[in-house]
Each structure stands twice: as structure tokens, then as C-alpha cells.
Amino acid sequence: MTHSSTHRRRIVVLISGGGSNLQSFIDACADGSLNADIVAVISNKAGVKGLERAANVGIPNIILDHNSFESRGEFDQALGDVIESFSPDLIILAGFMRILTPHFVNRFLGQLMNIHPSLLPKYPGLHTHQRAIDAGDSEAGATVHFVTPELDGGPTIVQARVPVLKDDTAEILAGRILAFEHQIYPLAAEWFCQGLLELQDGDIIFDNQLLPAEGVSLEIRDKT
Ligand code: GAR
């Protein structure tokens, strides 16, 4: 895929919490490893640290509280309208803990990415780290994927794998995985911004080739 225009890509980031993944995007934009601008950060919760992270670097940050809407559909409609007002190329779900309606997903299909803290298709949903530990898995990880109407079910762009160690608690494992999330997520966004990545009929085309189900194969090391 080649982009017809050469404008700098515009990213909107959706959060619900601490926003450490958002921070990795802010840092990647600042150091030039991600050639894009974060044009807005939207949170469905007030008072979260991610909003502060955006404010600190002068990114417009918006609270859209889902509790002030009658239904999921109305919230998603309003959310979509706010997003659209920023004309983004890419929408990044970064710890955005809301299930999105198919209508919303289809409105932005091919422009919506999520990161999930498991090796999908294992452990969609919540409590992924504890579930990996309870199952006795020897490895765990995170998955960046395009969002489709099926919860945590969209095709994988890239995964990071980490070992599960003997004394891991869910918290320790989550921290180990998070360090890798911060590497693979801005990288996947950069691929998108370069025009290397496209969702086509439920499959991913990466650099003009059909991507296998496990996504881009990548050797990555913990920076810490
Ligand atoms: C991250 O671990 C992300 O993978 C996870 O929430 C955390 C957000 O952390 N997302 C999900 O569980 C989505 N289903 P952050 O707010 O520090 O980026």
C-alpha cells in the first residue's frame, strides 16, 4: 500500500487509566521513531494519570465519561464524533477498558489498533496475567492487533513473548510484559504510518504480503 498523500499521520489515543502505553507513544513521537502527531487523547474516566501525561506535553485531552450516556451505543456515537473531529489516520486503544459496539468498530475499521496483555488468541478479556499463571504457561506476552467487532479477536500485527517465571505474581508478570508493550506498540503504529500495514477483508497485508496469523516476527529485547 502506498499513501496518496504525504501528510504527517494523525493519531488519537484512547485511554482509561495510567497511560504508560500512551507515554511510549509520546516518547516515540518525540524521539522520531514514530513519525506522527498525537492530536488528541480521550479518556472515558476523569482523573487518570494518562490525561496528565497528555496535558504535560500540550496534547488536547478530553474526558468523555461513559456514565453520562444512556446506552453503550450513544456513548460510542459521541466518542466516534469526537474522534472524527480530529481527523485521525490511526486510533490507538491504550488501556481503553470499554467494549466497543460493532457500529463504532465498523465506522473506523482498519484504523483502530489495540494492545492486549496476552498472547492472543489465548486469554481475551480480563485478568490475563493471572490466567496465564494459573494455567502453568511457560510464556506470556502482549499482542497488538487491528480491532474488529469480535472482542480481542482482530488479526494480530505483532506479539511480544516473555517467560513466566516460577515466583511470578500477576503484578510482576504484568510489569515484565508492559516493558515490551512499550516497544511493540509504537513500532506497529510506525509501520501503519509508513503505509506498510493494511487491514483487508479481515487479513493483514504487511509490506504487500499476507501476514501469517502470528503477525510480524520480531526479535525484541527488554530495554530495562
Ligand atoms: C496494558 O497492559 C494494556 O495491554 C492493557 O491495559 C494496560 C494499560 O496500561 N489493556 C487491556 O487489558 C485491554 N483489554 P497503561 O494504561 O499503563 O497503558
Is there a domain that residue 2 lies in?
Answer: no
> What residue owns the CA closest to ligand 1's atom 12?
116
Q: Which of 60, 84, 108 is the endpoint of a domain?
A: 108
pLDDT tens for each residue of 165-223: 999 999 999 999 999 999 999 999 999 999 999 999 999 999 999 999 999 988 776 65
Determine if ligand 1 sits within 6 Å of the CB of residue 88: no
Q: Which residues contact 177 (CB under 8 A, 6 or more apart)?
A: 117, 129, 140, 141, 142, 160, 162
pTM for this one? 0.96
117 lines ligand 1 (CB under 6 A): yes
Q: pLDDT digit string (tens) for 150-180?
A: 999 999 999 999 999 999 999 999 999 999 9
The residue from 75, 108, 141 where one domain ends is 108
Of 3, 7, 116, 129, the active-site residue reads 116
Residue 215, domain CATH: 3.40.50.170
Give residue-wise pLDDT tens across range 92-133.
999 999 999 999 999 999 999 999 999 999 999 999 999 999
SS3 135: coil
Q: Which domain holds residue 164?
A: 115-224
Does a structural domain hold residue 60? yes
83 and 127 assigned to the same domain:
no
Q: Which residue, 108, 142, 177, sits at the end of a domain? A: 108
